[in-house]
Amino acid sequence: MHRPLADEPTRLAATEVWLIRHGESTGNRDGVLQGQEDHPLSPFGHEQCKRLAERLTTTRFSALYSSDLTRAVDTARYLSDRWGVETQIDPRLREIHVGDWSGLPNAEIAQRFPEEWQRWQDRDPTLKRGGGESYADAQLRVTMALTQTAKKHPGERIAIVMHGGVMRAYIASLLALDLRLIWHFSMMNTSICKVRPFAQAMGGSRPRQGRIDSLNDHAHLMGLRPGGATPAV
């Protein structure tokens, strides 16, 4: 636990949220769109999670949360075992639901759903892919979940294991970005995004809450290659 700060606004401003994308799943490996379909970690994903847990061994967290999908839960388990902290499961942290597109590769989606696919190529944030959920809907869902969760831990550091699509959507919310722009930054498997959701942005005549301390930090994966081959330094 972090030392309590003097007043509630100051404590909230100091709250750190470490967003962690799950390790590589079998769906990632096989090049299919997963959405909320429940794919487990691949062998390489397990190696990534081991590296992540080793890196964060001495970092202290007040709480650990995870999406309820297997690839996230199993990633969180590596951290839970290392820290001795129980994982709290929250279904609101799931990836964007992509309906009938779930489990399909891009080429098949383009063939079976040509009109929707074209809208997706234009990155329409209101498109409900496969009859599922739009990026705008998912952004609202995950932003509410993360805000409510972070408010439970004023002045503390917490870790949240979730998914690349909703991580991008949340970061866009903090930055007030058009959702069409979120594909300009990467979210590697097991990468870390450190945010302070209640800290004021620096400068400007209209203060806005939310600072990003790091984005797509995956230093623990340096030298790690699929198949377990690690080149000599």
Q: How far is CA 153 from the centre of its chain?
A: 19
- In contact, 103 and 33? CB cutoff 8 Å: yes
Q: Read off the DSSP letter of residue 25.
A: B
Q: Any idea which residues carry the catalytic annotation?
A: 22, 95
The 3-state DSSP class for residue 132 equals coil
Integer Cα distance of 92 and 104 in angstroms: 23
Integer Cα distance of 134 and 186 in angstroms: 20
Backbone φ/ψ region at 178: left (φ over 0), alpha (ψ -120 to 50), beta: beta
